[in-house]
Structure 1
Amino acid sequence: MPMYQPSTGGQVLDLETAVKDGILGGGVICGGVTTANVEKLDLKTMIEQLDSIEVPSVFICPISLEPMQDPVTLCTGQTYERSNILKWFSLGHFTCPTTMQELWDDSLTPNSTLNHLIHTWFSQKYLAMKKRSEDVQGRSLELLETLKKVKGQSRVQTLKDLRKIVAAHDSAKKTVVDNGGVSFISSLLGPFTSHAVGSEAIGILVNLRLSSDSISNLLQPMKISLMVDVLNEGSTETKINCVKLMEILFRDSEIIPSLSLLVGILRLVKDKRHPHGILAGLRLLKIITLQQSPENSIISIGGVPQLVEMLPFFNPECLELALYVLEILSSIPEGALALKDCSHTIPNLVKLLMKISETCTQYALSVLWEVCRLSPEESAATAVNAGLAAKLLLVIQSGCSPRVKQRSAELLKLCSLNYTATIFISKCKLTRTLQ
């Protein structure tokens, strides 16, 4: 007889004992719901909604490794999901998939005890999940109503409690949105809002689904100004929440970023202790870079050399974002000049060629092209000494796209203009590469 291991640990019980002792069987199941009520619940639906829960191994079909909904037992005593064992037979197999014994009887016996046990176990879990969800929704509504009545430190504490429950439960997010929570919490952000209230409100809003009207409301200058202040003075978690919220707000909006905002983003990007903050900051910086003018950009606050110097410390995802930003900035005369004047630009970019991804190589080539074109003699010599020529030949011989190979060829030609062929090959130490 199949054995059952209770999910709470302890003694292994057979199915009859498990049902008899009431571990998973009849009687009251949850909140007054009886076995008779449980039978009305659809097992397939419960399994789908509880897909992340750990299921006792006896409920798992050995063939599909999925919970069984219609268990049947073979003459060998092994139990399988009916549809799976029938498929096994249809493929010409007349053996038990688990033991590989030849079957002396091909009949399938419904395992009604196990079927009942599976249904009852999933019902218990499902009803418990629903009860927790309802409790979360009720608590969210309670906090939302309390928030409308309290002031001062009580408001901060209520916001903090709501932020935690919203961050942990999708049902809480939906409850807050459906009951006007976005509008009310947004109304708390203004010129006279304390940073404590602002930090908690932003932490809630960043977890909610925002409508176009909500986004328009949050884009009001006084609200953005508060977010910038909180970004510059809040905790690391608050700073990350700020840039994530502003990413949502700025994504489809024309904005003119303040220098204070750019300083706050750059400060977050430079903090090597918090990779999530670096990624969030670079994502927002990418959006802003596409929209800003040279006189009101990261260029004007000296951000270009700081980004360049951070390149060796970025992970691949952050590196691709940073190179994208630098490529956009290199297309602006002021940006190209800032890149040329930074002594680390060419060496750092040359090291990245053919190292991370074709996309990163493409961005790095574009930046190098703009820098070298701005000052061919000076930059080309620096590039050659940094080993650019050998890297370019590798790109040309690689499986990169024709566009990337073309840019590499153009850059290689630009670097070689000040040298004879012999001197260029010798200076770049290309003999082995060419061979």
Structure 2
Amino acid sequence: MGRERDHLYITVPNLFRCPISMDVMRSPVSLCTGITYDRASIQHWLESGHDTCPATMQILQSKDVIPNLTLRRLINLWAQSRGPSSPASSPCLSSQHLASLVQFLRNENETEKFSQNIVHSLSKTADFARVGEENRRFVANFDGFVSAIVGILNREGVEIEVLESVIKVLDSILPQSGVNEQLSRFIAKSNGNYLASIRLVLQKGSLSSKNESVKVLDSIALDAESKRLIAEKEGLLSVLNNLLSLETCQDLYGAVFSCLASLSVNRSIKAELVRFGLVRVVTSTLLNPDTSTTLAEKCLKLLSTVATCAEGRSAISGEEKCAGAVAERLMKVSRGATEDGVAVLWSVCCMLGDKRARESVAGGNVVAKVLLVMQSGYGEGHFVRRMCGDLVKVLSVGLGLGLRYDTKTIHIMPC
């Protein structure tokens, strides 16, 4: 038992984990973006047809990889200090253990009677699954395991600690292919208890459980129907929004922003989020100097989503510092996020024609930034370049600048 616990609770430095597989890197290599991955994982990513950095989603100017020899030496030294056994080399949970757990979970009477045993066993399973890809595969693919733990969410009156431990396991195995599809199918066929249980954890769970619950929701929002089902579940959007006023964790904010952007599949949902005051919260987050680049990118994504409806554009226009906050972030975030920011500014400055929004960005050197976006090859697919051209036109008029531009060549010249 002692040996099993040593394997289960070993701490692996995050720096040593591959951002794709979450396993300890065997051959760390760096992309041109500066992000390091395990060679096997990033090669599989690139060979699958992707041309972006998985962590930042920036378009790769080069797909060449450079061995990170310093990090490799550090990993080797750390591995030697742990002894000959790798943390993910041999399973700590046997098939017999999971078989017993599945049987126990399916027995409703025993589950309610021995809730503390369930919490301990599921937490142990989640810790095991988080060690690496091999462990996640072992747990997620075990016959009947996913349906058994998800079945707990479909019951009424389950203790919050048990629900939290179930969410913890689901979050730990989400990276395993096919898990989110299974969850989405279960929820689509349910009477609503699944989502009600997740909502309860969002309301009464610990901070980590809330964060995990939001990520579970986001992962199962796979298509328009599942997104609509989640968004229209009574009170769920309100609960997600309330997390932004009750908590201050950037990780949680990022998870909520991503989930809300994913769920905003129609005008009514976007309008409801606007009524909740979401634009004000996002603006405040963008203005906060402590906001990370990753969180700022999620803010811009959510704003660009709600800006596609009239209520969203009006709210952005009505939030005095919103347009300025967006303009300030241009070119300081990833390519995709910069394009989201351009879309937000275009929506209020051009489509809505808001004079106040134009004035709020006038002092932020935004015209120069928009010109740089155009000349840097952003949005080569059409729309972003067109929006940039419109922005240059309306903003340069407001600033008294004489500019003419050719939208085909995107060369900008003073008149």
TM superposition score normalised by structure 2? 0.63
- What pairs with 1:264-275 in structure 2 (closer than 5 Å)? 264-268=239-243, 274-275=249-250
CA contact (8 A) 2:331 2:373 kept: yes
Task: Quote the Cα distance in structure 2 between the aligned partners of 1:412 and 1:346.
Answer: 15
Q: Take 1:419 and 1:306, find their aligned partners in 2: how far apart are those partners?
A: 29
Equivalence for 1:255 = 228
Matched, 1:297 2:255: no
Aligned-residue Cα RMSD (Å) equals 3.7
- The match for 1:180 is 144
Structure 2 CA distance for partners of 1:180 and 1:328, relative to 1, 3 Å: same
Matches within 5 A, 1:116-127: none
> Contact 1:269/1:279 (CA < 8 Å) preserved in 2?
no
Tell me: CA distance 1:291–1:239, structure 2 relative to 1, closer, same or farther (3 Å): farther
Q: Which one of the candidate residues 157, 162, 166 is aligned to 1:201?
A: 166
Alpha-carbon offset, residue 246 of structure 1: 1.2
Deviation larger for 195-204 or 401-410: 401-410
Matched, 1:139 2:97: yes
Task: Give the SS at the match of 1:297.
Answer: helix
Q: Would the alpha carbon gap of residues 325 and 52 (structure 1) be closer, same or farther in structure 2, given more than 3 Å must change?
A: closer
Closer/same/farther in 2, CA of residues 259 and 370 from structure 1, 3 Å limit: farther
Distance 1:139 1:385, change over 3 A: same
Deviation at 1:177, TM superposition (A): 4.3
**Which of residues 203, 214, 219 in structure 2 aligns to 1:232?**
203
Residue matched to 1:409 = 389
Question: What does residue 74 of structure 2 align with?
Answer: none
User: Which TM-score applies when normalising by structure 1?
Assistant: 0.60
Distance 1:356 1:270, change over 3 A: farther
Deviations 1:6-33 (CA, angstroms, capped at 9, x unpaired): xxxxxxxxxxxxxxxxxxxxxxxxxxxx
Q: Which amino acid aligns with 2:128?
A: A
- Quick one: higher RCO (CA 8 Å, sep 6+), 1 or 2? 2
- Structure (1 or 2) with the larger CA radius of gyration: 1
Q: Quick check: 2:164–2:209 contact (8 Å CA) kept in 1?
A: yes
Residue 297 of structure 1 deviates from its aligned partner by 3.2
Aligned to 2:357: 379
- Superposed CA deviations along residues 120-160 of structure 1, whole A, max 9, x for unmatched, are xxxx9689987x52654333334344443624462243233
Superposed displacement of residue 372, structure 1: 1.4
Equivalent in 340, 345, 366 of residue 388 of structure 1:
366
TM alignment of 1:32-51, pairs within 5 A = none
Q: Secondary structure at the match of 1:223?
A: helix
Q: Answer whether contact 2:164 2:205 (CA < 8 A) is retained.
A: yes
2:338 aligned to which of 340, 361, 382:
361
Unaligned runs of 5+ in 2: 1-22, 28-82, 403-412
* Equivalent position of 1:244 in the other structure: 215
Give the CA deviation at 1:273: 5.2
Q: Does 1:347 align with 2:324?
A: yes
**Secondary structure at the residue paired with 1:230?**
helix
Q: 1:278 maps to which residue?
A: 253
Q: How many angstroms apart in 2 are the aligned matches of 1:134 and 1:418? A: 66
Alignment coverage as a number of residue pairs: 306
Tell whether the 8 Å contact from 1:215 to 1:249 is kept in structure 2 after alignment: yes
Of residues 168, 175, 179 in structure 2, which corresponds to 1:210?
179
Shift of 1:314: 3.7
Shift of 1:331: 1.4
Displacement, 1:249?
1.8
The one-letter amino acid paired with 1:408 is: C
Provide the rounded CA distance (Å) in 2 between the counterparts of 1:237 and 1:291. Answer: 30
Alignment of 1:4-153 (within 5 A): 132-133=90-91, 135-147=93-105, 148=107, 150-152=110-112
Q: Distance in 1 between matches of 2:92 and 2:203?
A: 38
> What is the percentage of aligned positions where both structures have the same residue?
19
